[in-house]
Amino acid sequence: MAIQADGGNRSRGTGQRGRYRPLSEINVTPFVDVMLVLLIVFMVTAPLLTVGVDVNLPTNDGDDLPDGKIFYVSIKSDGSVYLQNQKVPLEKVAPRMQAVFKANPELTVYFRGDRSLDYGRVMDVVEALKDAGMQNLGLVTKPEVGSTRVSELRNSDRK
């Protein structure tokens, strides 16, 4: 609470020197400054939170992923396997995915594999998914820069 000294103001006629009286106004400027800084911090960090596992995807000029329920299986360049964003050892992929496929047998799995991976490691994971009962598999790639498909997508966004 702010306190203001009267400072010997004799125009009031009270004759009391040095009397303190509280200010009834609250300064909200620092509060607004802090809120704006927090807003900027959240706006900057929110897009970073949507990224799951950092995988260097190969490029392609194919179609976009369809909307709906998406289940990602990712393999990083070191060979580690992720179901959604959870790291799982290869020998536990099939048992965990069996429960997922029981709940949703028509689920499409989107496979994100790093471009530097050994083909054998990719096939080990795909085989584990097939053993778990996978029916549909989609491969995720990055669009090629300068490809006709990317140009068409950008032009359709502008319309």
Neighbouring residues of 72: CB distance < 8 A, sequence distance ≥ 6: 52, 82, 83, 84, 109, 110, 111, 112, 140
Topology of the domain covering 59-158: Nucleotidyltransferase; domain 5 (3.30.420)
Neighbouring residues of 98: CB distance < 8 A, sequence distance ≥ 6: 132, 133
Q: Give 5's strand partners.
A: 20
- For residue 16, the model assigns a pLDDT of 60
DSSP H helical segments within 17-118, as ranges?
29-49, 93-103
Domain segments of the chain as ranges: 3-49, 59-158
Q: Specify the DSSP class assigned to residue 12.
A: G
Mean residue pLDDT across the chain: 75
Under a CB-based contact definition with an 8 Å cutoff, are residues 68 and 138 in contact? no
Least confident of 8-17, 42-51, 104-113: 8-17
Structure tokens at 41: 């911090």
Residue 85 has pLDDT above 80, yes or no: yes
pTM for the full predicted model: 0.50
Under a CB-based contact definition with an 8 Å cutoff, are residues 61 and 149 in contact? yes
Residue 142 — pLDDT band, cuts 50, 70, 90? confident
